[in-house]
Structure formats: structure tokens, C-alpha cells
Amino acid sequence: MTAFHADIADEFIKTGDLSDEKLRQLIETEECDDILIKAADKVRRRVYGDEVYLRGLIEFTSYCRNNCYYCGIRRDNRKAQRYRLSEEEILLCCKEGYSLGYRTFVLQGGEDMYYSDKMICRIVSSVKEKYPDCAVTLSIGERSEESYRAYFEAGADRYLLRHETADEKHYRMLHPEEMSLSSRKKCLFTLKSIGYQVGSGFMVGSPYQTTENLISDLRFLQELDPDMIGIGTYITHKDTPFSDKENGSLSLAVRLIAILRIMFPHALIPATTALGTIHPEGREMALKAGANVVMPNLSPVRVREKYSLYDNKICTGEESAQCRKCLEKRIESAGYRAVTHIGNVKRLP
Ligand code: SAH
């Protein structure tokens, strides 16, 4: 490693921040990966020990009103297979998840207005009533402040809404005219002010992304100061306008996880399904670089293939209990321990 890069890595590890120019150097070189990953693991062990939190993920609808160019369940994809889970089905997933030890349920879906505020509130409050020792996380896109408040009052604890890219021009290249980065950002601040534990994040290697865009993502996260940060590689879906684009790079994503862990020592950072899809050991690599959450799939097996955000998504054929075992083994092989408590963020006192 050049002394130049060693100095930059050193400064970053010591202070948790760098100038834009130095961040660019750090993001663009592989030279520092070993020391960054080691330092990130040290930080995660100091804050979270060897614990990895489990979140049962229920992908409850594949309908979406949005038309993001990268996403397989975008509105205009006529080939997408659409499904909706009923309230009963969602509760059955939670029942199974609870028996597998999960104490967080993440309800994720396309932006599907079939689920009115009333329905979402009813679903959230039923889950909380049956499983008061569990957290409910929503990930259902952009809704009004009034709606977000209603879900919170119904008992929702956390909300995941990736900003996708914090750069205005890049955002425009990934989304149609009717969507806007400013509304997405506004939603995130609203969610935070309501009292949710908030998660944001971005895709690594999405089409047209530059290092400057990634720096903007890190700066935006510093401004938002979220509890959870989810990143994964962009993966092409064959029935989208981006079908000819290349997948994002795993090593860049792993490097960014290490950078995030060092910048945000307390953040909950998942080893995402996209990373497991792009490489058989992608999630293990993420865990070793500072990720401390995994989100096993709890959706009914018959719908899993249909929640097709990108090609070749993994974990579509296995029953939830098998997913649980498989992930536990992966976590152990990486040197950590799956735990079944609620797994709240550890904030600085
Ligand atoms: N409708 C919800 C949930 C979106 S799906 C919302 O708007 O938040 C969850 C995440 O999958 C997205 O935030 C996006 O970052 C990711 N995603 C979508 N398409 C993808 C692709 N082709 N490759 C990798 N990740 C993708």
C-alpha cells in the first residue's frame, strides 16, 4: 500500500470522517480494504459484540404505482407477476416468524394504495397486539405525514426508506419525472420527527453512478443520521429499461459497508439479499465488514419468485424454517452469533 493511501485510511479510522477529496481516494482504491474491514469489525464488536440481529421480512405486495427504471416490480412491467397478501396471510407469516425466534417483522412492498391507511393500521396493530415483544418495521414507500403518523400511533416502530441516490441529477437518471428526490428526503425527515427508528440507504453500482454520487450519499446520511443503513449492489432485471446495464460491484459494496460502519458506529447495517445474490458468500463478506443485521424471508414460498426486484434473487425456494437454519450457519461461519431479541439500535448515551 502506498503511504498516501495508508495515511488516508488511518485518518478515516481515527476520526470517522474525511474531506470529499480524501473520501474519493478511499472509495476508489482496493488497497485499503483489508485495514478498513478490520477496523470496521473492531468498531462493530465494540458496539454490538458478535451479535447479528434477525428481521423476518414479509414481502406482502408486488403491486407498485411507481416506475423506477431499475426495479423489476415497476408499474409498467407487464411481465411482473402481481400478488397481494391478505391480513390473515400476513399474520400467519408473523406467527411462523415468531416461532422461529424473530422479534422484528419487516412489512415491505411496492407502493400499493390498495392497502389503505386503515388497513395498514389494522395490520400493524394486530401484529403488535399478538406479539407485543416484537418491533414492526414498515417499508412501503412514500406516503403523507398524516399516514406516517397514523401507522406510528398504530404501533409501527421503524421505517425503511432508502433514498436510493442523494444526487439530484443521478436521481433523475434512475426515476421518471413524476418522482422526486426532495419528496423522498422530506419523507425521511418527517419519519424521524414522528419518532420512528429510520433506515435509509442506496444502491451501489446503479447505472450512471459516480464516486461523487457515493460521497453525496454519505454526506446525506451524515445529515439524516439514520438508525439503519441498507445498501446492496444494483442488480439488473431483464424486464426493465435498464436490462442492458451492468450489475454493481460486490467489492465496492463491501468497502462501503466498512466505511459506513466506521462513520456510523451505532447504525444497524444489514447484509442484504442483493449481496447474497451477486455472490454466494456476499452476505458473509458484508458481516465481516461491519454489517450486523440479516433479514430472512418470511413470505409464503408461493409468492417469493414474484417479488422480483432484480434477476436471480436468492431464497425464493426455501421454507422459512430452512432460511432460518441456512442464515444461522452463514452467520456462524463468518464468526458471529444470530440472536433473537428485538435488536434495537444502540444510540450513544
Ligand atoms: N416500495 C418500497 C420498497 C422498495 S423495494 C420503497 O419505495 O421503499 C426495496 C429496495 O430494493 C429499494 O429501496 C431499492 O434500493 C432496492 N432495489 C430495487 N430494485 C433493485 C435492483 N434492480 N437491484 C438492487 N436493488 C434494488
pLDDT computed for residue 234 by the predictor? 98
* Confidence grade of residue 318 (pLDDT, cut at 50, 70, 90): confident
Tell me the CA–centroid distance for residue 191 and ligand 1, in Å.
Answer: 18
Give one DSSP letter per residue of 183-231, joined into a string: HHHHHHHHHHHHT-EEEEEEEET-TT--HHHHHHHHHHHHHH--SEEEE
Could you tell me the distance, in angstroms and rounded to a whole number, from the CA of residue 74 to the centre of ligand 1? 10
Q: Answer whether 258's CB lies under 8 Å from 36's CB.
A: yes
Ligand 1 pocket test, pick from 58, 68, 71 with the greatest ligand atom count within 8 Å of Cβ, gives: 71
Contact criterion met (CB below 8 Å) for 290 and 319: no
DSSP 8-state assignment for residue 161: -
Global pTM exceeds 0.95: yes
Ligand 1 centre to CA of 309 (Å) is 7
User: Which of 203, 229, 252 to mutate for ligand 1's pocket (most ligand atoms within 8 Å of CB)?
Assistant: 203
Closest CA to 215 of 70, 28, 41, 341: 28
User: How far, in Å, is the centroid of ligand 1 from the Cα of 56?
Assistant: 17
Cα of 163 vs centre of ligand 1, distance in Å, is 10
49: left (phi over 0), alpha (psi -120 to 50) or beta: left
Binned at pLDDT 50, 70 and 90, residue 55 comes out as very high
Q: Which of 289, 299, 252, 323 is nearest to 90 (CA)?
A: 299
| Whether the Cβ atoms of residue 156 and residue 138 lie closer than 8 Å to each other | yes
Quote the CA–CA distance of 115 and 119 in Å, as a whole number. 6
C-alpha span between 136 and 80 (Å, rounded): 27
Residues in contact with ligand 1 by the CB-under-6-Å rule are: 70-71, 108, 110-111, 139-141, 161-162, 164, 203, 232, 234-235, 237, 274, 309-310
Determine the distance separating the centroid of ligand 1 and the alpha carbon of 33, expressed in angstroms.
Answer: 27
In this predicted model, what pLDDT tens digit does every residue of 147-198 receive, in sequence order?
Answer: 999 999 999 999 999 999 999 999 999 999 999 999 999 999 999 999 999 9
Whether the CB-CB separation of 100 and 324 falls below 8 Å is answered with yes
Which of 162, 174, 247 for a ligand 1 pocket mutation test, highest count of atoms within 8 Å of Cβ?
A: 162
User: How confident is the model over 317-346, as a mean pLDDT?
Assistant: 94
Asked if pLDDT for residue 349 goes beyond 70, the answer is no
Q: What is the pLDDT of residue 1?
A: 84
Q: Which grid coordinates are listed for 260? A: 459506513
